[in-house]
Amino acid sequence: MSKQVVFQSAREMPPMAISLNDMGFNKTGGWRYLKPVYLEKLAPCRVSCPAGTDWPRVLTLAAEGQFIDAWRLIRAENPLPGICGRVCYHPCEAACNREHFDGAVSIQALERFIADACFDLRPETHQREPRSERVAVVGSGPAGLACAYFLARQGVGVTVLEAAREPGGMLRLAIPSYRLPRDILDKEIEDIAALGVKFQPGTRISSHVELEELWQSFDALFIATGAHHSRPLKIPGEDNAGVMTGLEFLRSVNADHDIEIGKRVIVIGGGNTAMDAARTALRLGAHPTVVYRRTRAEMPAIAEEIEEAEQEGIEFIFLAAPRQIRRVGNTLEVECIRVELGAPDASGRRRPVPIPNSEFVMETDCVLKAVGEEPELPFLSESMETSAGLVIHNPKGLLEREGIFIGGDAQSGPSTVIDAIASGKQAAKAIQLYLQHGHVRPPKRRDKRSLTEEIAFEHLNPDYFTPAPRADAPHLVPSTRTASFSEVKGAISREQAIAEAQRCFSCGVCNFCDNCRVFCPDVAISRVDSAYAVNAEFCKGCGICAEECPRGVISLVEEER
C-alpha cells in the first residue's frame, strides 16, 4: 500500500513541488457513515412461483442465448419446464414488476422456448453418490414426478408406481394434447427416468394391506395419487346413459378410445376439467355448451383457457344450475333453473340462489359432469388421517406410520400442475430429512442473510430500462384449431426469446451490469470472480452505487464503528 512521504529536511526534498507517490495512504473510508452492501432481494416472479424458480437468473442466461444453462437452472427447481411452459397458470407473470412499466415479461413463453430448445438434450446424469435408501412414490403425476426427481438427484433409489399403463397421471389422462403434446410429456418423464428412477406402470395400490407391504419393502413412501374422483351433481338422472364425468371423457379421448358423444354436448361446471372437456368435445365435432352456476368472473378455470374456449366459439350459459336430467328416447333433457348470486359461502364466493319459476329445459346428446374432483385414498387405514403436513398421523398426533408422506392433489384436492410440483419437491426435502435424521424438522439456517425481502417496482431504477414490447406466444387461429388436436399455443422465435429475456429487470438480482463499478467516484468497487467487492479503505459511502443499481441489489446500511 502507498505510504506517506516524510521529509526530514529541505535537503531531502525535490527542488520543486512534484509528486512522489499516489494518494493511497489517504484512507477515505473513514469519511463513511453509510456503507453499501450487496444484498440480493427476492424477485416477485420467484416469490410467486410455487416451485421457486429463480427467474431473474434463468432469464439472464437466456438473454445471453445460453439456453442450455437456463434450462439446467430451471430444472434446479422444477423438472417439468416443457410442461409448465405450456399449461402453467404463470403467477410469475402476474407478479412481474415490468407490468408497471410496459407489460410483464412473457415468462411462460420463455420457459417453453428454453425447454424446447433443449428437447434433444438429455440431462446430465451425474448426481450425488448413490445412497442405500430406497423410496417408493405412488402415483406419477406432477407431484410424484417432482418428488422422484429431487430424491434421485440426491442419490436416493426411487421406484414410481403408476396405476395407468403409462406414467404422467393427470398430465396424460386429463390434459388434452392440444395443450400438452405427448412428446413433450414423454421427454420430461424420460429425463427423470434417466436419473435412475424406476417406473412401474400398471401397478395400483388399492388396499391398506398393499400399502403395508410396500412400506415394509422401502425406507419411505410418498403418496401422490391425485384427485381422480369426480364429485356427483347430486340431481336426479345423473346416471342416465349419455351422462358421464368430464374426467372419464377426457381419459377416454386421451387414451385414443372411441367414444360416442353426438353433436349436442352440455358441460356442467366452470373449472379446468370443464374447459378441457368442452374444447375436446368441440374438436371431436360436437357443439358444446357450458352451463355454470355463477358468472364468468367466478370461474375457477385458468383465464387463458376460458379465453381460448370463447375464441373457439364455445357457448356459455352463466347463472344456471341443473335440477334434473331426463332421457327421452335418443335425447337427454337437462332441466336447469336460473340463479342469482347471494351472500358469500364458505369458499368466499357468492352463493347461487335459485330464482323461483325460472326453470328451462335444454336438449342434448351428451352431458359431461365437471363440478370438481376429490382424492380417493382407499389404502389408508381407518385410524390414519392426512393433515396439513406431509406425514400421516393418527388422531392423537403421534407418528403412527413413520416414513409415509403424502402430497399433490391427493393431499390438497384438485390444484394446479405447478402446485403439485411444489408439493412433490417439498415432500422430497422432508423425505431426505427423514432418511438422514429420522425427523422432518428443517435444520436451522446458518446464513442470516437469507433472502427475505421482496423487491417492489419502487425499489428499481427504471431509468436504465428502455421500453420494449412484450412478445406473446402466437396462437393458432380459432378456425384451424378446432379441426384437430394440434397444439393451440405456438412458440416464440429464438430472436424473440433473447429479446424477451432481455426485458427482464432482474429484480433484486445482480446481473453484473457494472453500474456500481462504473459509477464509483472513488474507484472503490471491483469485480472479483463472480461478485463485486467494495474496498472499505476508500469507499466514502456516497451511495451512488445503490442509487444507480437498476435492480435494487445494493443496500446502504449504517456503518458500525
Q: Tell the smallest beta-carbon distance from residue 531 to another protein (Å).
A: 18
Contact 88, 180 (CB under 8 A): no
17 belongs to the binding site for another protein (CB under 8 A): yes
Rounded to whole angstroms, the Cα distance separating 380 from 157 reads 24
For residues 88 and 120, give the distance between their C-alpha atoms in angstroms, rounded to a whole number.
Answer: 22
**Segment 255-259 long-range contacts (CB within 8 Å, at least 24 positions apart):** 255/173, 259/284
Q: Which residue blocks in 42-141 are alpha helix, DSSP H?
A: 44-48, 55-63, 67-75, 81-87, 91-95, 107-117
Supply 41's cell numbers: 432481494
Binder of another protein out of 429, 513, 536, 559 (CB under 8 A): 513
**523 is a site residue for another protein (CB under 8 A):** yes
Site string for another protein, 21-40 (x = CB under 8 A): xxxxxxxx--x---------
Q: Which is nearer to another protein, 371 or 546 (CB)?
A: 546
Q: Which of 148, 534, 546, 553 binds another protein (CB under 8 A)?
A: 546
Nearer to another protein by C-beta: 415 or 461?
A: 461
CA dihedral angle for residue 202, residue 208, residue 214, residue 220, rounded to 10 degrees? 120
Instruction: State the nearest-atom distance from the C-beta of 61 to another protein, in Å.
Output: 14
Rounded to the nearest whole angstrom, what is the least distance from the CB of residue 518 to another protein in the complex? 5
Nearer to another protein, 483 or 533 (CB): 533
Return contacts of 28-32, CB within 8 angstroms, 24+ apart.
28/522, 28/537, 28/538, 28/539, 28/540, 29/524, 29/535, 29/536, 29/537, 29/538, 29/539, 29/540, 31/540, 31/541, 32/536, 32/539, 32/540, 32/541, 32/559
Q: Which of 28, 23, 3 is nearest to 534 (CA)?
A: 28
Q: Is 503 in the site for another protein (CB under 8 A)?
A: yes
Residue 438 burial by Cβ neighbours in a 10 Å radius (0-12, 13-18, 19+): exposed
Q: What's the closest the beta carbon of residue 34 comes to another protein, in angstroms?
A: 9
Q: Pick from 468, 475, 486, 490: which binds another protein (CB under 8 A)?
A: 468
| 3-state SS class at 73 | helix
Q: Is 491 in the site for another protein (CB under 8 A)?
A: no
Site size with another protein, rule: CB under 8 A: 52
Is 463 a binding residue for another protein by CB under 8 A? The answer is yes
Instruction: Pick one of 19, 347, 357, 450: the residue that binds another protein (CB under 8 A).
Output: 19
528 binding another protein? (CB under 8 A): no
155 versus 550: smaller Cβ distance to another protein: 550
**Binds another protein by CB under 8 A, chosen from 192, 390, 431, 524:** 524
Is residue 457 a contact residue for another protein (CB under 8 A)? no
Cα dihedral across residues 60, 65, 67, 72: positive or negative = negative
Q: Which is nearer to another protein, 359 or 537 (CB)?
A: 537
Distance CA 443, CA 132 (A): 22
Least distance from C-beta 59 to another protein, angstroms? 11
CB–CB of 420/146 below 8 Å? yes
Q: By CB under 8 A, name the one of 390, 431, 542, 553 that touches another protein.
A: 542
Task: Give the separation between CA 133 and CA 218, rounded to whole angstroms.
Answer: 8
For residue 11, what is its C-alpha cell?
535537503
Query: Least Å distance between CB 494 and another protein?
Result: 16
- If the CB atoms of residues 44 and 50 are measured against another protein, the closer one turns out to be 44
Contacting range for another protein; rule: CB under 8 A; set: 68-76, 134-142, 205-213, 508-516: 508-516
- Residues near another protein (CB under 8 A) are 2, 5, 7, 9-10, 13-28, 31, 463-466, 468, 499, 502-503, 513-515, 518-519, 521-524, 535, 537-538, 540-544, 546-548, 550, 556
